[in-house]
Structure 1
Amino acid sequence: MFSIVMYTLAISLLLVSLIKDKDKTKIALKKVWKSFENILPQFITIIILIGILLVILDKQAISNMIGNESGLIGVIIAAAIGSITLIPGFIAFPLAKILLENGAGISQIAAFISTLMMVGIITIPLEIKYWGKKATFIRNILAFLFSIIIAITMGVIL
């Protein structure tokens, strides 16, 4: 139901935009299409990798590594994977749902998502260039620790 409301709202606002200014709307739609074309290869690659991962790892393997029973070790494994992975949010959240459906624990997924969004092992060279070594390492260490706290809190609450 929520999806229907959102699609209806988006189409309605697009029609309002078309009525108000056709030229700007056409330019915006061209930019959106260009962005979609740029994201599509990454999106398809990650979907293929997720598919391969789910074929290789069955529910029991996922549950053993990052399931509820894996405890703090599973949280740390998920946090480490999230820290070194560079996945856009629009792919990370559906991936999290798939992992939850296949035996992953809530704390572990919270650690994965929060480190994915906050910790940037891959982007460290770029961060050092702009912020310096000290600020980069402090930010990443604090983000990692905060992600662990978030994961534990989510596990307790949910």
Structure 2
Amino acid sequence: MNTTTLFINALAVICLILGLRKDREKTKHALKIAVMSFIKILPTMLAIILIIGLMSGFVPPKTISKIVGQEAGFKGILIVGALGAVLHIPSLIAFPLAASLLEKGASVTSVAVFITTLTMIGFVTLPLEIRILGKKFAVLRNVLSFIMALIIGILVGVIL
């Protein structure tokens, strides 16, 4: 366990103790809400573990590195950008998946593009966006977002 994790957990315990001392009922209520929230996100957390486990088991690091690593170049960045634009993955799953991709040999640039396109482009929600905002605006927003995601990813890769 690293120091950041220890610090955050210690801070949470201290705040819990202070909360119990100040108002026991409110703290109990807050803990009930926290437990219910945990139960609600449990399926998503299990999905994270499943996706990362399957990827780790079936996709060798060499393949990941070849497709979205440094050697893939701009083609790899475009592939991962297209995947990020098309997939509809909640960030709760995307960040651990991105970390796993990095560990398996993906480049920082590719992972940055993947996360950025996941959050900025709504291919799945495009029909709704077209209906509400109009076709021209929705398509233009998504195209410009894709270009910006590529630029952001490349900048992150250069900086890191």
TM-score greater than 0.5 by the shorter chain: yes
Which residue of 2 is the match for residue 115 of structure 1? 117
User: Percent identity over the alignment?
Assistant: 44
Q: Is the 8 A contact 2:44 2:93 kept in 1?
A: no
CA distance in 1, matches of 2:15, 2:61: 42
TM-score (norm 1): 0.89
Match of 2:105, SS state, is coil
Q: CA deviation at 1:13?
A: 1.3
Segment drifting more, 140-149 vs 129-138: 129-138
Is residue 89 from structure 1 mapped to residue 91 from structure 2 by the alignment?
Answer: yes
**Matched positions, count:** 158
Segment drifting more, 143-152 vs 21-30: 21-30
TM-score (norm 2): 0.88
Distance 1:133 1:12, change over 3 A: farther
Q: Is the 8 A contact 2:52 2:100 kept in 1?
A: no
Which residue of 1 is the match for residue 138 of structure 2? 136
CA distance in 1, matches of 2:52, 2:28: 35
Which residue of 2 is the match for residue 70 of structure 1? 72
Superposed CA deviations along residues 72-102 of structure 1, whole A, max 9, x for unmatched, are 1111111111112222323322221211111
Amino acid at match of 2:6: I
Amino acid at match of 1:52: L
Distance 1:70 1:47, change over 3 A: same
Q: Where does the alignment leave 5 or more consecutive residues of structure 2 unmatched? A: none
Please provide the CA RMSD for this pair: 1.8
Q: CA deviation at 1:129?
A: 4.6
Residue 41 of structure 2 is aligned with which of 39, 42, 52? 39
Q: Where does the alignment leave 5 or more consecutive residues of structure 1 unmatched? A: none
Segment drifting more, 79-88 vs 134-143: 134-143
What are the within-5 Å matches in structure 2 for residues 18-29 of structure 1? 18-29=20-31
